[in-house]
Amino acid sequence: MRIRLNRWKGAAAAAVFAIGLMAPATFGQDNPWVDTAEYELVVNGINKETNPQKKIQLLMQWKEKYPTSKFKTARLQAMLGTYQQLANAPKMKEVATEMTTEDASGVIGLIGYQTLNLLTFSMNDKSDAGLADAEKAGNGLLAILDKVAKPAQVADDAWAKEKSNNQVLGNRTLGWVAWQRKQYEQAEKYFTDVLKINPANGEVSSWMGTVILLQRKPEKQSAGLYHFTRAAVLEGAGALPEAARNQTKAYVEKTYTAFHGSKDGLDDMMAKAKADPFPAPGFEIESELAIKMKNREKLKADNPMLGRWLELKDTLKGAEGDTYFGQLKDTNAGGALKGKLISATPETKPKELTLSIADGITPDVTLKLDEALPGKAEPGTELEFEGTVLAYAKDPFNVTFDVDVAKVTGWPVQAKPAAKKAAAPAAKKAAPAAKKK
């Protein structure tokens, strides 16, 4: 694993170790060296060793023999750099953590927290312990920024820029942690803070789009797609690599067209996203469904299945929704329905599917399957099903169906239901008529 860290380049950080090595080899009252052996080990041993494996052995020897050396923080820096040469991330994390405790309010502690935040992404440890460490690193970095005194040899503007970069790094880490924990609204807040400081960050714009869409809130779908658009069109410093940018652009075009019904307005949204990292207040992409809903009677005539679903949805979301559901439960909701796949759990051989019937992008149906479907399907795959209504929720709206895989069509690899013992079919209730709006 190659470990790349954007190390702090301030003069103080670069000079700490070198200053110690310039100390004279005399041993009076004010000399920093414990004895001649320590001086020889560091100056003529560690300082001249170019093999990182041998160098780390000498550094460990120094630590064992002289644990309270006056050059302890300089030693930690040297160990960190040597472990980086060896691409040993766990040891880098161990040393960086020690730096944060050894110099809790100083430059060495700052470098330690920087390193821990950067290692969060290079190590990509999503375990509970790994996320807890990353959260501590992000909070620690943000907290230490107002404690560290500016080194005299560092210019004011350079120090201010470094502080800004660290604010971005800390919030980026905390947003990523919240994302992995499925705390999507919290992640959105951290990524917002990142983009306010550094608007030219294509990666975080794409992350922002992801966590917004994962909130499954219809009113936020347009904003989520806007941030993906920003990631797709941003160029220059901070932009995604070309391959990732092209992939994101293809996703935006496909999703926008599916949601809006055409590419009309897409170029305008791309231009706006290129100019501004955040959508304007009230920004909204009109869905194909919303356009068609302006003439609901024609919609119902053109697509009776969708019209029936929208009537059902309106009734369930209305004041008498609970009463209506009491009649709807254990029925087949009037017959087969058709929607687009949003997600499958698990992705391969799923036993649960999330679909969007209304607009193809906003989840509104969950299918609980009696057995796993074979293989996998890509999001956006159109599926038709018939099942029995089990439950519903108003916000976010969702209806759960119990479904026999034999009654799911459109899956790329057709299911082969296991033979079941013959049983007297249970009589299904007829679906109640939804109230017309």
On whether both 110 and 201 belong to a single domain, the answer is: yes
Q: Are residues 335 and 213 in the same domain?
A: no
250/380 same-domain check: no
**98 falls within a domain:** yes
Q: What is the pLDDT of residue 148?
A: 96
Residue type, 93: K
Give DSSP secondary structure letters for 369-398: ESSPPSS---TT-EEEE--EEEEEEETTEE
pLDDT score of 2 more than 70: no
Spatial separation of the C-alpha atoms in residues 368 and 402, rounded to whole Å:
5
Average pLDDT taken over every residue of the chain: 89
Mean of pLDDT values over 217-226: 93
Mean pLDDT of 223-250: 97
**pLDDT for the residue numbered 16:** 38
State pTM to two decimals: 0.72
CATH of the domain at 328: 2.40.50
Q: Which residues contact 145 (CB under 8 A, 6 or more apart)?
A: 110, 163, 166, 167, 170
Decide if pLDDT at 432 tops 90.
Answer: no
Question: Do residues 199 and 332 share a domain?
Answer: no
The reply to whether 163 falls in a domain is yes
pLDDT at 8: 40
Q: Are residues 216 and 334 in the same domain?
A: no
What is the predicted pLDDT for the residue at 25?
A: 45
Give me the CATH number covering residue 72: 1.25.40.10
Q: State how far the Cα of 241 lies from the Cα of 244, in Å rounded to an integer.
A: 5
**H-run or E-run covering 258:** helix 242-260
pLDDT band at 429 (very low <50, low <70, confident <90, very high): low
Residue 208 shares a structural domain with residue 90: yes
DSSP 310-327: HHHHHHHHSTTHHHHHHH
Asked if residue 261 and residue 327 are part of one domain, the reply reads: no
**Domain co-membership, 265 together with 309:** no
pLDDT band at residue 31, thresholds of 50, 70 and 90?
confident
Query: Terminal CA-to-CA distance of the chain, rounded, Å?
Result: 60
pLDDT at position 289 is 76
Is residue 260 a part of any domain in this protein? yes
Average pLDDT of the segment spanning 255-284:
95
In a domain, 234, yes or no: yes
Domain contains 286: no
Flag the least confident range among 12-26, 130-144, 342-356, 385-399: 12-26
In the predicted structure, residue 136 carries a pLDDT above the cut 70:
yes
Structural domains counted in the chain: 2
Determine, yes or no, domain membership for 402. yes
Structural domain range at position 219: 11-275
pLDDT of residue 83: 97
**Spatial contact of 363 and 216, defined as CB atoms under 8 Å apart:** yes
Residues 142, 248 share a domain: yes
CB 8 within 8 A of CB 114: yes
Q: Is residue 4 part of a domain?
A: no
Are 56 and 100 found together in one domain? Answer: yes
Q: Could you tell me if residue 393 is inside a domain? A: yes
Please say if the pLDDT value at position 13 is more than 50.
no
Residues 250 and 390 placed together within one structural domain of the fold: no
Poorest-confidence range of 139-148, 212-221, 266-275, 384-393?
Answer: 212-221
**Tens-digit pLDDT profile for residues 51-102:** 999 999 999 999 999 999 999 999 999 999 999 999 999 999 999 999 999 9
**Are 266 and 310 found together in one domain?**
no
